[in-house]
Amino acid sequence: GVWIVVFDFFLCLLATFLLTIPALFLPVAGNRKYNQNKILMSVHFLTLSVLYSFFVFISGSPFFGVMIASFLFYIFSIVSCVKYKILKEPVYFSDVVSLGVLLKNPSFFVFSVPLIGWVVLAGLILCIPLSLWYYFTNLLDIRFCALGTIVIACFIGKKIPTYLDISAPDWERDVNRLGVLGMLAVYWMLWKKEPAPPPVLANKAKAGLDIVLVIQCESYADPSIFREAAAHTVGLPFLEKAKTRAYAQGALLVSGFGAYTMRTEYGVMFGRTEAELGFCRYDPFLTAQRDKTYALSYQMQAAGYQTVFMHPHSLEFYGRNQLMPIIGFDTVDNCSTVQHAPPPGEYMSDTVLAEAIINRLTTATTPLFLYAVTMENHAPWPGSPQEALQHYLRHLQSSDAMLGRLMTWLEEQDKSALLVFFGDHRPSIQGIAYQDSERSTPYVAVRFPEKEETALASALTPAELHHLIRSLSLSVV
């Protein structure tokens, strides 16, 4: 009868809840306080209710719901632990939103997934449809129970941000109170409600320089960040040269470690702080189109600069192919016409990209703003940890040579120019120890023709670097 169906449904829901409790205590981050356990268990019950009920609804079987919901929750928790081990952050809602792009670019993450992970994934892909076929029923009563549970759990879940006073993101706090999946759901709800910022009022400005060249260099960092003695023998002579004559130089206070290029890129491009971004901070490119008036490219274009974006990789990543024209870039170039032959498994070298940039600078007939994002030093770095470090250092020296080549070319021109060069984040090389837990990367801002400038080291956020570039590049009419 109906009551037996209802009893089976809620008995299996309780089983799912109990089976998945151990996953809550996997080492993600922080130290959970005892008084947080009641909140954690309540939120866990709500999230598991939705997950379990969803699979019951599509299958008509509570046994299928227990099996798949529990299995997926453990997989999700383990993936979050792996991500935390590598990148020092758990899985966010933005990672799920961007999953499609990641799957189109497997080289970005395939190296970090152990063999057992691929075996489990293959088993999952095979088992879910087979299990659905085996357990599928046409029972309507069980589906009404599942649908009602989803509605009630979601209604209660919407009250969590108010009840816990979650007005600003703090994953280290909330992962302990909500669990990774609970935090993902709550942050996703709050992200959807994040209002668009008011548009920037257009100021009358004109191009103040002939060339504004911004280089966002992949994984560019000082070798001294590593504890390995071999890294300390590698110098970055052109970075040191740039520092001696820079208008500004120092540490760029990026928030990501080993990834999250788009956070640094957004900060430099749009000039909005993470506090201003709120729940959009984890992947600001997801909502960047509505912020277009804040973009350097948008303001540079309005001031009379020709605007060019260059990136030697698929522009579908982070949706750059759609975003960049909207935010004011006249030309968006994936460098597909540049002649180069990198070794298998490697990206276009930074020195080759430097020549492609110089070709564009040479042919410019109007003031030019060029923003380039390099790729050479992107993971993976093959071999043992020590071999991977050597690969990284070799590419790092190529990046430094790029900086030297661009400086030399600009010195030879009879043009006013600003060169800004910075690292997007530090590298995450498994098995290699770091000197500290800092995340900063170097930046330099050098003006041409050469001026007698010796800037003291000054730490800036990406947003502050945006405002520095803007102030040096635009002349108020």
Q: How far apart are the first and last CA of the chain?
A: 80
Contact call for residues 254 and 274 (beta carbons, < 8 A): no
Say whether 250 sits in a helix, a strand or coil: strand
Contact call for residues 204 and 476 (beta carbons, < 8 A): yes
Q: How many residues does the chain have?
A: 477
Tell me the angle at which helices 2-20 and 141-157 cross, rounded to the nearest 10 degrees: 50
Q: Domain of 259?
A: 205-476
188 plus 211 within the same structural domain? no
Q: Which of 193, 221, 246 is where one domain is finished?
A: 193
For residues 351-380, average pLDDT? 95
Question: What is the structure's pLDDT at 6?
Answer: 85
470 plus 321 within the same structural domain? yes
Q: How many Å separate Cα 61 from the centre of its chain?
A: 38
Tokens 């002939």 locate to: 210
Q: Does 199 reside within a domain?
A: no
| Both tokens assigned to 244 | 């001696």
Residue (of 367, 351, 352) closest to 417 by Cα position: 367
219 plus 359 within the same structural domain? yes
Question: What is the structure's pLDDT at 201?
Answer: 82
> What is the band of 79 on the pLDDT scale with cuts at 50, 70, 90?
confident
Q: Does 200 reside within a domain?
A: no
16 plus 157 within the same structural domain? yes
Residue 103 has pLDDT above 70, yes or no: no
| Both tokens assigned to 28 | 């993600």
Least confident of 113-122, 354-363, 462-471: 113-122
86 plus 211 within the same structural domain? no
> What is the band of 36 on the pLDDT scale with cuts at 50, 70, 90?
low
Question: What is the structure's pLDDT at 437?
Answer: 83
**For the segment 258-293, what is each residue's pLDDT rounded down to a tens digit?**
788 999 999 999 999 999 999 999 999 999 999 999
81 plus 221 within the same structural domain? no
263 plus 165 within the same structural domain? no
The average confidence (pLDDT) of the chain is 89
28 plus 171 within the same structural domain? yes
323 plus 372 within the same structural domain? yes
Residue 367 has pLDDT above 70, yes or no: yes
Q: Which ranges in 88-170 belong to alpha helices (H)?
A: 93-97, 99-104, 115-135, 141-157, 160-163
26 plus 142 within the same structural domain? yes
Residue 408 has pLDDT above 60, yes or no: yes
**For the segment 284-324, what is each residue's pLDDT rounded down to a tens digit?**
999 999 999 999 999 999 999 999 999 999 898 888 999 99
Q: Does 46 reside within a domain?
A: yes
In Å, the largest CA–CA distance within the chain is 88
98 plus 138 within the same structural domain? yes
178 plus 237 within the same structural domain? no
Residues 6+ apart with CB under 8 A from 270: 284, 288, 291, 294, 295, 296, 463, 466
Question: What is the structure's pLDDT at 450?
Answer: 80
Selected residue with higher pLDDT from 103 and 194 = 194
**For the segment 446-461, what is each residue's pLDDT rounded down to a tens digit?**
999 987 666 778 999 9
**Angle made by CA atoms 291, 296, 300, in degrees to the nearest 5:** 125
Q: Does 121 reside within a domain?
A: yes
Which residues lie across from 372 on neighbouring strands? 215, 310
Overall domain count for the chain: 2
